[in-house]
Structures are given as structure tokens and as C-alpha cells.
């Protein structure tokens, strides 16, 4: 196994690595820097787009451009012009929340949750944006929405409320996009001060999660047991995704500055985008938003 710094752009709050098989490009975001980034697999040809508010996640669209979860709601991003367009704001009456982590299901729907910006109260919710741009609430009572992803067959949805100490699993109806039967998938080891952040699922059905503030990447077996732990060069790792031509490189984002004073600082490589090679595991292609 080899860990390298792929791109050192010192993202304030780097998040959401997204490998697109069609373009063979890696996207990621700076939530607090209000940027979307793109690069080649070797970290070259770096492009950046500014967005008008804090960004929690993004996904590419089948018809071009991207769908974003911003503090001010779901938006489209036009890569050619750099312009954003509001789709819907699910929480206009909640000034203390913003949209956070999100991904696209196997049928092209965008699922993203909101979070309490002080990371204190259960004021967030989980939403599904369908291809017809209709919005549906899937769950609520969430402090910080993180780590949405699906089993390879799309029938199990994984999700974490970061400060709950758990990663949850739901039954996922692919025909309707509804969730049911929420249960504890895994208990998160928080003895090192860490908490569950971004996740992805590999081709074997194992879940990989970034243990933010503890500097670890944890691989969980389908039964929720810990299969492998990787120690990263920085403590504030935030999210993970497999990519590269063979989908066998694990890309890991990190933050340069913690969002709140109570969280720890980090070393010289803080805010870097990392690439982990030689894991012997492949990921699954990420779908594009159908809307």
C-alpha cells in the first residue's frame, strides 16, 4: 500500500471525491472555500469553479453539468458558464442548517441530507431529489448528515449521523426511492476522538468510511464488522471514493481548518487530496443524476 498527496490545494474543508468513469476525471469540493475542483487521475489539469454558497456535495448530470447541495438549497451548475441555478431550497425556514453530503442512487436520483451548522442539535433531515426535480423527505432528526452510499445491488442504503456514533443501514426500494427498516450497521470506534464522515462501497460490498479527527479510513464488512483500518498522514480526513482507470485507487479528501474551534488542528499536509494505491480492491462506478 502507498499513500501519496495527489493535489495540495489546502482545501479549508475538502469533501466529496467523485470519480467519473465517462470523463476519467476526479471531482472534489471545498465546502467552506465554495469551490468545485476537477483533475486527472495523476493530479494534473486542475480546474476550479466558484459557487455562491457553502457546498455540501455534488454529482454530475447525465445531460451535462452538475447538481449541487448548497447551503441555500439544491442547484444546477453549468461548467461552461460557471453559473448556478436554484432548483429548490428544502429548508428556507431554518437559518441554522445547510445541505451536506449527497450521492446518486442506481436509478439516477440525488440523495442528500442537511446538518446543524453548530453540529449541536437534531435539526437536519435526509432528502431525495428525483429526476423530475420533485423533492421528498426520507428521514429527519439528524445532527450532521454524512456518508450516503448504496450496496452494489442498490438495495441497501448506508448513512451516518456523524455524532450518533453509528453508521445506519436502510432497506432501499429502487423502484420508488423510499427507505425503511433503519437499523445500526456498525458502531464507530470514537475512542480516538473521531467520528463517521464520508463513505463509499466497493465492488465486494464492503463499506469504506473516513474517520474524521482520528485520521483513519475504516473498511467494514457487509455484516458491520471492521475488516481493515488505514492510518492516514492527517487527522482530518473527510471522505473517500474509488477511482482511476481500474477503479482501484482510493481518493481521500481532508480539511485544512476545522469548522469549529473545539476540533483539532493538523500537520503540513492538511487540506490535501490523497490517493491510496495497492489496496487490492476495486470500487463501483458512480451513477449520474438523471434530472
Q: Domains for the chain: give ranges and CATH numbers.
A: 2-277 (2.120.10.30)
> Taking 80 as the threshold, does the pLDDT of residue 100 lie above it?
yes
Pair 52, 34: CB distance under 8 Å: yes
d(CA 67, CA 289): 7
Among residues 197, 214, 248, 266, which one is catalytic?
197
Q: How confident is the model at residue 291 (pLDDT cuts 50, 70, 90)?
A: very high
SS (H, E, C) 20-66: ECCCCEEEEEECCCCEEEEECCCCCCCEEEECCCCEEEEEEECCCCE
Determine the Cα–Cα distance for residues 219 and 281; give it in Å rounded to an integer. Answer: 11
Q: What is the pLDDT of residue 95?
A: 94
pLDDT in tens, 169-215: 999 999 999 999 999 999 999 999 999 999 999 999 999 999 999 99
Percent of the chain with pLDDT over 90: 96
pLDDT (mean) for 100-124: 96
> What percentage of the chain has pLDDT greater than the value 70?
100
Quick one: which H or E segment has residue 196?
strand 195-201
Q: What is the reported pTM?
A: 0.97
Distance CA 187, CA 164 (A): 9
Contacts of 72 (CB under 8 A, 6+ apart): 52, 53, 86, 89
Residues 6+ apart with CB under 8 A from 95: none
Residue in the block written with cell 431529489:
129
Give the separation between CA 74 and CA 80, rounded to whole angstroms. Answer: 19
- pLDDT (average), residues 79-106: 97
CB burial of residue 262 (10 Å; 0-12, 13-18, 19+):
exposed
Q: Which residues of 110-121 are buried (b: 16+ CB within 10 A; e: fewer)?
A: bbbbbbbbebee
Q: How far apart are CA 253 and CA 5, in angstroms?
A: 10
Collapsing DSSP states into helix, strand and coil, what is residue 71?
Answer: coil
pLDDT value for 261: 74
Is 50 in the active site?
A: no
- Between 266 and 178, residue with greater pLDDT: 178
Given the C-alpha cell 493530479, which residue does it identify? 43
222-239 residue pLDDT tens: 999 999 999 999 999 999
Amino acid at each position: 500500500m502507498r499513500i501519496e498527496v495527489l493535489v495540495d490545494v489546502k482545501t479549508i474543508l475538502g469533501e466529496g471525491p467523485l470519480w467519473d468513469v465517462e470523463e476519467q476525471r476526479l471531482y472534489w469540493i471545498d465546502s467552506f472555500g465554495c469551490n468545485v475542483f476537477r483533475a486527472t487521475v495523476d493530479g494534473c489539469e486542475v480546474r476550479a469553479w466558484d459557487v455562491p454558497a457553502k457546498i455540501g456535495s455534488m454529482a454530475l448530470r447525465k445531460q451535462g453539468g452538475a447538481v449541487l447541495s448548497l447551503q441555500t438549497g439544491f442547484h444546477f451548475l453549468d461548467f461552461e458558464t460557471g453559473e448556478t441555478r436554484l432548483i429548490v431550497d428544502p429548508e428556507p425556514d431554518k437559518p441554522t442548517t445547510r445541505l451536506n453530503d449527497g450521492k446518486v442512487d442506481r436509478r439516477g436520483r440525488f440523495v442528500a441530507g442537511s446538518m446543524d451548522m453548530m453540529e449541536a442539535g437534531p435539526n437536519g433531515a435526509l432528502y431525495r431529489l428525483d429526476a423530475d426535480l420533485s423533492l421528498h423527505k426520507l428521514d429527519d432528526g439528524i445532527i450532521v448528515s454524512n456518508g450516503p452510499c448504496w450496496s452494489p445491488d442498490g438495495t441497501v442504503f448506508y448513512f451516518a449521523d456523524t455524532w450518533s456514533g453509528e453508521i445506519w443501514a436502510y432497506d432501499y426500494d429502487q423502484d420508488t426511492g423510499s427507505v425503511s427498516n433503519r437499523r445500526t450497521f456498525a458502531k464507530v470506534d470514537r475512542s480516538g476522538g473521531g467520528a463517521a464522515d464520508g463513505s463509499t462501497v466497493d465492488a465486494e460490498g464492503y463499506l469504506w468510511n473516513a474517520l474524521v479527527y482520528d485520521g483513519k479510513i475504516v473498511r467494514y464488512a457487509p455484516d458491520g464488522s471492521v475488516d481493515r483500518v488505514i492510518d492516514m498522514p492527517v487527522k482530518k480526513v473527510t471522505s473517500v471514493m474509488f477511482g482511476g482507470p481500474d477503479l482501484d485507487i482510493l481518493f481521500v479528501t481532508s480539511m485544512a481548518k476545522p469548522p469549529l474551534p473545539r476540533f483539532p488542528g493538523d500537520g503540513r499536509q492538511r487540506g490535501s487530496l490523497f490517493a491510496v494505491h495497492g489496496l487490492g480492491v476495486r470500487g463501483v462506478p458512480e451513477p449520474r443524476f438523471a434530472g
